[in-house]
Amino acid sequence: MFSSKTKTVVFSGVFIALTVILTHVFAIQTPFLRISFGFLPIAVFAMLFGPWKTGLMAAIADILGGMIFSPGLFFPGFTLSAFLAGVIYGYFFYKKEITIKTLFIASSLILLFIDLGLNTIWLSMLYNKAADAIIVSRAIKSLLMLPIHIFLLYMVHKPLLLYYKPLK
């Protein structure tokens, strides 16, 4: 019917659009914090396509979202963060049994090292603020979002795996 490349391109387009909408349109955002559900399409794409394709999809979604919705200049650090988050989700979710433990580890790595670590560094570079000044509010947000990430990913992956197998 359709080649695997066609499926990949179509799914990529849909998931890029979902990521951009959930990250930029349906988000609560301040200069130093963003609370969104943009992680969901990235994680679901990772379950279906693996780490490298997911990293690329997340990076493209970040670039497009920045071009369409960002009031400032493009900063490649956030694109690197998006790529790494996609790779982490892909590593933990692609063709593997997804348990609460794997959800916790993947979400913790992303929230602590990507969101709290790298993104705080990028924000302190962009806004010329000390990381110490913004890390407390970002740490509280990460701690509050961890159980939400785990719960939503757990609720999404069960029905997804009934209908879709990981794609090549």
Q: Which amino acid is at 139?
A: A
| Average pLDDT of the segment spanning 135-163 | 89
Give the Å distances, CA to CA, from 112 to 15, 85, 137, 157, 167: 24, 11, 13, 22, 29
Q: Are 37 and 156 spatial neighbours (Cβ–Cβ below 8 Å)? A: no
Span 33-45, pLDDT tens digits: 788 899 999 999 9
Radius of gyration of the chain (CA): 16
Residue 5 pLDDT class (50, 70, 90 cuts):
confident
Report whether pLDDT(163) > 80. no
Question: Cα separation of 128 and 154, whole Å?
Answer: 38
Mean pLDDT lowest for which of 29-43, 83-97, 112-126?
A: 29-43
- How many C-alpha atoms does 89 have within 13 Å on its Cβ side? 32
Structural domains in the chain plus CATH codes? 4-163 (1.10.1760.20)
| Average pLDDT of the segment spanning 124-129 | 84
Report whether pLDDT(104) > 70. yes
Q: Which of 28-32, 146-150, 156-160 has the highest mean pLDDT?
A: 146-150
Residue 2 pLDDT class (50, 70, 90 cuts):
very low
